Amino acid sequence: MESRQPNSTDEIDLDHATSARRIQRLSSHLNPPLLDGAGAETAVSLMACAARAKLEVDTEQLSKYMRGRYRDVQQGVYDYFNSRHELQTPIEISKDEHRELCMRQLMGLVREAGIRPFRYVVDDPAKYFAILEAVGSVDMSLGIKMGVQFSLWGGSVLNLGTKKHRDKYFEGIDNVEYPGCFAMTELHHGSNVQGIQTVATFDPMKDEFVVDTPNDGAIKWWIGNAAVHGKFATVFAKLMLPTHDTKGVSDMGVHAFIVPIRDMKTNKPLPGVQIHDCGHKVGLNGVDNGALRFRSVRIPRDNLLNRFGDVARDGKYTSPLPSINKRFAATLGELVGGRVGLAYSSVGVLKIAVIIAVRYSLLRQQFGPPKQPEISILDYQSQQHKLMPMLASTYAFHFATSHLVDTYGEMKKTHDEELVGDVHVLSAGLKAYVTSYTAKSLSTCREACGGHGYAAVNRFGSLRNDHDIFQTFEGDNTVLLQQVAGYLLKQYKEKFQGGTLSVTWNYLRESMNFYLSQPNPVTARWEGQDHLRDPKFQLDAFRYRTSRLLQSVAVRLQKHSKTLGSFGAWNRCLNHLLTLAESHIETVILAKFIDAVRSCPDEKSRAALKLVCDLYAMDRIWNDIGTYRNVDYVAPNKAKAIHKLTEYLCFQVKNVAKEMVDAFDLPDYVTRAPIGMQAAEDAYTVYTQYAGF
């Protein structure tokens, strides 16, 4: 594009300028110098923009802005494992060896490197999540093993128990002398936790609970740490209390109990506890998932995690909360941290994949213009289309999940009720949206890197296999999105008429009022770059879509519930509800991204972030252009301009793609793929050496 700007090379010396011009000429053959066909106005405005902004990215400055507060502790994790080669997971390893290695890695982290994540679970979650992300990049099995030990098993003790539990278990959990499990899921019940069938019946004679698996469908399944290492398990079961009426026992709903499952010395299963191995998984084979069946296993009354409900010596039930449903919600509410961690770690995985795919696409050359050298595959429009919106999304998700982590930390401090609701929905929505996106992207990256992407050493296989289940555990994504939609509808119904909306969707009331009117036929035709790249237009478009989806689904639900009941009506509108939830999450991500661009202190970095932010916005609008067109929010000429701008921005981002992935600041010994080395000249060499040449 610079070839049309006579002054653009004035400041460079002549030799340099000659070769630069040659490259520019070649580049103009390959790539869009200007939007074509989108009207003279757009073209002129892009010319102006290109003239004023020859984008230069200062990777160091941008990195500084991207780095979290806890980069130091992450570096500590990287350094420790980089220094202990015997603790690095080899490319090929059997399930059993992997499980043992993973345990040694965890022990090493805690006992040798002195990094103790457990203390941060409640007191400084942001630091905990930073450790989790770093540990996951060493081996995702280790990340999950750590999460099972500290967030799930440990977290359940801290968050659902009381002081007596903390006093008794903290030290052993912290130093991994008490490896433990989180036994919620059953063979027949995953998402529907209230449907679990394991029972814990109080025996007032012996002051004990008796834990039982009433049928094979109630076997605790997929329990991490259970197959080999776990000594304890937090078991979720229906609490049964004896009554004096004819029924004999009363179901008090799901509660959590600490059940010792293995002998501390021999590691043998304790009497009545039957443990089997869930076997080989698609990924995460360093985690020993097992299945637990209980046959009249007796535990002391003290082992009830009694923060939200307690049983006295005489069998009397007390609770600070008035109903089974409230207690259930409070119990599950304490587990929301797991989702925050997964959303955050998922972005970490996406960063690694994008770094490898972008660097290889810059390195790899294939085909070219007649009698000229081959060009890099990232010079192809199709490769830009695959990878550049993904790079932009990685930035977008980075800021959104960082925001989530901070909000979660604040919530843990203040227990502010509005924040609780906000974190609940934001964590559900971001976990679902980000992990689905990352899962798809890992496949795209493998495919985009061709045959060399299929070498296990280049990481896409293990990243995909390990990450895959992020879409399912800690809440199935399809179920979580429904929670988001449900919350939006609640807000819509209860608060639309004047109350306060919670922080993240304050925009809804505003935009609903605004958008219930018809789209403006004049702005629907605006296609200039200044307009399309204006954050106001972008946010308006995202919010408009969410508002319309919310309003229309509310109307449909009301209509159908008359004939189908609320469950039937919900199912009839389910696709619509999921689209609404995704639209809302995309809107929140964009809003956080725009904030992050504005807050960036370094001018060059701000310009680079603005570029990827625009690409994120345009890409998402274009992906859903049918919706915008259907309601004439966007006229045909504008739709075309959005498409062309998306392609143009992909090209622009391509020009700074190397710097943008370098700014994620992950050293080669973390990304580890030979084809994704930071210094391109090393890549093929390292790769051939790996094969033995």
Write out the binding residues for its own copies, residues 64-123 only, by CB under 8 A: 91-92, 94-95
Of 446, 509, 606, 610, which one interacts with its own copies (CB under 8 A)?
446
Q: How far is the CB of 444 from its own copies (least distance, A)?
A: 10
Of 67, 166, 188, 326, which one interacts with its own copies (CB under 8 A)?
188
Q: Which of residues 38-57 bind its own copies (CB under 8 A)?
A: none
Of 17, 20, 30, 51, which one interacts with its own copies (CB under 8 A)?
30
Of 39, 76, 108, 217, which one interacts with its own copies (CB under 8 A)?
217
Is residue 36 involved in binding its own copies (CB under 8 A)? yes
Runs of H (alpha helix) within 533-602: 535-572, 574-599
Q: Which of residues 166-185 bind its own copies (CB under 8 A)?
A: 185
Q: Which of residues 527-556 bind its own copies (CB under 8 A)?
A: 556
Burial tier of 278 (Cβ tally within 10 Å: 0-12, 13-18, 19+): middle
Stretch that binds its own copies, among 134-142, 327-335, 337-345, 367-375 (CB under 8 A): 367-375
Of 629, 658, 682, 686, which one interacts with its own copies (CB under 8 A)?
629
104 φ/ψ angles, rounded to the nearest 5 degrees: -65, -35
Stretch that binds its own copies, among 104-112, 327-335, 447-455, 528-536 (CB under 8 A): 447-455
Name the catalytic one among 474, 586, 647, 659.
474
Geometric angle at alpha carbon 528, from 524 and 532, rounded to 5°: 70
Using CA atoms, how far apart are residues 614 and 618, in angstroms rounded to an integer?
6
User: Based on CB atoms, which residue is closest to its own copies, 277 or 602?
Assistant: 277
Stretch that binds its own copies, among 10-18, 214-222, 505-513, 598-606 (CB under 8 A): 214-222
User: Based on CB atoms, which residue is closest to its own copies, 75 or 627?
Assistant: 627
User: Based on CB atoms, which residue is closest to its own copies, 124 or 277?
Assistant: 277
Q: Which of residues 127-166 bind its own copies (CB under 8 A)?
A: none
Number of C-beta neighbours around residue 164 at 10 A: 10
Using CA atoms, how far apart are residues 72 and 77, in angstroms rounded to an integer?
9
Using CA atoms, how far apart are residues 605 and 65, in angstroms rounded to an integer?
8
Q: Which of residues 10-29 bind its own copies (CB under 8 A)?
A: 28-29
User: Based on CB atoms, which residue is closest to its own copies, 5 or 28?
Assistant: 28
Q: How far is the CB of 678 from its own copies (least distance, A)?
A: 20
100 is catalytic: no
Stretch that binds its own copies, among 127-135, 186-194, 513-521, 604-612 (CB under 8 A): 186-194
Of 450, 503, 530, 682, which one interacts with its own copies (CB under 8 A)?
450
Q: How many CA atoms lie within 13 A of 504 on its CB side?
A: 28
| Binding-site size, its own copies (CB under 8 A) | 103
Of 63, 82, 162, 191, which one interacts with its own copies (CB under 8 A)?
191
Is residue 382 involved in binding its own copies (CB under 8 A)? yes
Q: How far is the CB of 33 from its own copies (least distance, A)?
A: 9
CB 628 within 8 A of CB 545: yes
Q: Which of residues 272-301 bind its own copies (CB under 8 A)?
A: 274, 276-283, 291, 293
Q: Which of residues 563-582 bind its own copies (CB under 8 A)?
A: 564-565, 567-568, 571-575, 578
Q: How far is the CB of 85 from its own copies (least distance, A)?
A: 18
| Pair type for strands 290-294 and 273-277 | antiparallel
Structure tokens at 294: 């209980």
CB 239 within 8 A of CB 311: yes
Is residue 679 involved in binding its own copies (CB under 8 A)? no
Report whether 438 belongs to an annotated binding site: no
Q: How far is the CB of 555 from its own copies (least distance, A)?
A: 10
Q: How far is the CB of 480 from its own copies (least distance, A)?
A: 12
- Tell me the CA distances in angstroms from 5 to 21, 25, 48, 51, 381, one per residue in order: 11, 12, 10, 7, 23
Question: Residues 300-339 vs its own copies: string with x where CB under 8 A?
Answer: ----------------------------------------
Using CA atoms, how far apart are residues 134 and 131, in angstroms rounded to an integer?
5
Stretch that binds its own copies, among 13-21, 163-171, 230-238, 633-641 (CB under 8 A): 633-641
User: Based on CB atoms, which residue is closest to its own copies, 277 or 410?
Assistant: 277
User: Based on CB atoms, which residue is closest to its own copies, 62 or 445?
Assistant: 445
Stretch that binds its own copies, among 244-252, 301-309, 537-545, 626-634 (CB under 8 A): 626-634
Using CA atoms, how far apart are residues 60 and 55, in angstroms rounded to an integer?
15
What is the SS3 string spanning 379-439?
HCHHHHHHHHHHHHHHHHHHHHHHHHHHHHHHHHHHCCHHHHHHHHHHHHHHHHHHHHHHH
Q: How far is the CB of 584 from its own copies (least distance, A)?
A: 17
User: Based on CB atoms, which residue is closest to its own copies, 593 or 616?
Assistant: 616
User: Based on CB atoms, which residue is closest to its own copies, 229 or 464?
Assistant: 464
Q: Write down the residue that tokens 């976990």 correspond to.
A: 431
Stretch that binds its own copies, among 7-15, 419-427, 502-510, 621-629 (CB under 8 A): 621-629
Which amino acid does the sequence have at 685?
A: T
Of 79, 112, 171, 216, which one interacts with its own copies (CB under 8 A)?
216
User: Based on CB atoms, which residue is closest to its own copies, 379 or 659?
Assistant: 379
Classify each residue of 42-56 as buried b or exposed e, where b means 16 or more C-beta atoms within 10 Å of its C-beta. Answer: bbebbbeebeeeeee
* Nearest Cα to Cα of residue 668 among 455, 402, 459: 459
Of 204, 368, 486, 519, which one interacts with its own copies (CB under 8 A)?
368
Runs of H (alpha helix) within 55-117: 59-66, 71-83, 95-107
DSSP 113-161: S---GGGHHHH-HHHHHHHHHHHHHH-HHHHHHHIIIIIIIIHHHHHHS
CB 154 within 8 A of CB 110: no
DSSP 239: E
* Nearest Cα to Cα of residue 658 among 447, 362, 444: 362
* Nearest Cα to Cα of residue 74 among 23, 20, 120: 120
Geometric angle at alpha carbon 305, from 326 and 116, rounded to 5°: 115
Stretch that binds its own copies, among 73-81, 254-262, 417-425, 683-691 (CB under 8 A): 683-691
Residue 474 Rama label (left phi>0; alpha psi -120 to 50; beta): left
Using CA atoms, how far apart are residues 659 and 657, in angstroms rounded to an integer?
5
What is the SS3 string spanning 244-261?
CCCCCEEEEEEEEEEEEC
The interaxial angle of helices 381-414 and 636-655, nearest 10 deg, is: 90
Is residue 692 involved in binding its own copies (CB under 8 A)? yes
Number of C-beta neighbours around residue 324 at 10 A: 16
Is residue 374 involved in binding its own copies (CB under 8 A)? yes
Question: Residues 451-480 vs its own copies: string with x where CB under 8 A?
Answer: x-xxxxx--xx--xx--xx-xxx--xxx--
User: Based on CB atoms, which residue is closest to its own copies, 606 or 640?
Assistant: 640
Structure tokens at 444: 């795209």
User: Based on CB atoms, which residue is closest to its own copies, 471 or 671?
Assistant: 471
Report whether 394 belongs to an annotated binding site: no
Using CA atoms, how far apart are residues 594 and 615, in angstroms rounded to an integer?
12
Is residue 379 involved in binding its own copies (CB under 8 A)? yes
Using CA atoms, how far apart are residues 36 and 645, in angstroms rounded to an integer?
10
Give the residue ranges of the annotated binding site for FAD.
Answer: 185, 224
Give the residue ranges of the annotated binding site.
Answer: 185, 224
Catalytic residues: 474
